[in-house]
Amino acid sequence: MIEETARKHAALYGFEEIETPMFESTAIFKRGLGETSDIVSKEMYVFNDKGGDELVLRPEGTAGVARAFISEGLAQLTPLKLFYRGPMFRYERPQKGRYRQFYQIGVELLGVEKPQADLECLSLGYQILKNLPFADGMASSITLHLNTIGDLESRAAFREKLVAYLTTRKSELSADSLARLERNPLRILDSKDEGDKRVIAEAPTLTAYLNDTSKKFFDDVVGGLEILGLPYKIDPLLVRGLDYYCHTVFEFTTTALGAQNAICAGGRYDNLISDLGGPKTPGVGWASGVDRLALMMAEISDQTPTVAVVPMGDEAEGPAMKLCQELRSAGLRVDMAYGGNMGKRMKRADKVGASHAIILGSNELSRGVAQVKTLATGTQAELPLGSIASTLAKELGR
């Protein structure tokens, strides 16, 4: 249901589905995500094929879409709107809503450098989350966190000041943050370590180092959200964990799942495709974890009516199978009792929640009829075999 809801709303926004391979060249992710990202340094499933090439089970969707964009020569088709869904793989400690094989839905909008593309992706994310049948209170627990990390010029100026500040407080940083200090200091802003948080609270902010271009871009995104009436919260410490991001970064979070609170996240990546060897192509997109969303869903009972077919005797098996096919073609869910006496077969009908049991024995076969029992009332009627499917479909509203 989650994937189909996402696919339906993505289509309303003009997104077409793309399916990329479950394994790619390792280089695609090392170059695209960055050598220092957690995914590349700790979490990828890497292996060599028979030809000696190093491959990886895809840990996320964007880099694979970018590779397909380049290898399939799709630049002439921009602006290009793509939706994907499927399994991803990361070697990390399994925990609530996070597994080593997990499922994502995601969108990528390629070839549009204006903030309208960011707004379209954000609006689509809102629509999908709005239309999922969450359990009571879950929808109200979702918040859009938004930030800008500026363009390359802005980040370079900020990085210099941030490194200078953090160097003066190296003794207070965690081991992970010390490792990131030289390679990817912006990631320290996203640290969950309590000691790091105290240091970060007094750190310079990226906002102060944004150039005019970056400021205007973010102002336009925020202004667009206001026009659309979409609520948001600006979070100056939100940076995201992958090297390819620039300008807008965002996360839809929930307070309902504990520490693992991000359910949809993404941002803009104007340099990813050119970094992978393709033409200069701006992009923006997001991915959402289906497993986490599933934890928030209300229990939904399948309303498709169930009919139990109860053949008695070997000669009834064939006609019963044919009747099952007719009932399914009429839109009814069918469970056929394969063995046991009448009592056991009727208990099976109760167990599967059948509304009706169709009893077919040698006596009925000789007359071309079957006994149709309404299980809720215990009433029973004899109907011609040829009319049972249409009669029950009409009665059950199929």
Give the Å distances, CA to CA, from 271 to 71, 247, 380: 17, 11, 70
Which two three-digit tokens encode residue 388? 């049972």
Beta strands 306-311 and 16-17 are unpaired
Q: What is the CATH number of domain 306-395?
A: 3.40.50.800
Both tokens assigned to 350: 């109760």
pLDDT score of 120: 97
At 100 the pLDDT is 87
Interhelix angle for 115-130 vs 212-228, to 10°? Answer: 40
Which of 47-56, 67-76, 88-97, 174-183 comes out lowest in average pLDDT?
Answer: 88-97
Name the one residue in this structure whose structure tokens are 């009919």: 307
**Which residue intervals of the chain bear CATH 3.40.50.800?**
306-395
Q: How far apart are CA 158 and CA 239, in angstroms?
A: 13
Instruction: State the pTM of this model.
Output: 0.78
387-396 exposure pattern, b = at least 16 Cβ within 10 A, e = fewer: ebbebbbeeb
Q: Are strands 333-336 and 306-311 parallel, antiparallel or unpaired?
A: parallel
**Given this structure, which CATH class describes domain 2-151+211-296?**
alpha beta
Question: Which strand ranges, in their side-by-side order, compose the sheet holding 54-57?
Answer: 23-25, 54-57, 45-48
Predicted confidence (pLDDT) per residue in 329-381, tens digit? 998 999 987 777 888 888 888 888 889 999 998 999 999 999 999 998 999 99
Per-residue pLDDT, 304? 72
Q: What is the pLDDT of residues 232-259, one digit of tens each?
A: 999 988 887 667 789 999 999 998 877 6
Instruction: Give the chain's length.
Output: 398
Q: What is the token pair recorded at 329?
A: 């073609």
In the chain, list all ranges with CATH 3.30.930.10: 2-151+211-296
CB 9 within 8 A of CB 131: yes
CA 183 – CA 42 distance, rounded (Å): 15
Q: Which residues pair with 101 in a beta bridge?
A: 89
Structure tokens at 246: 């620039």
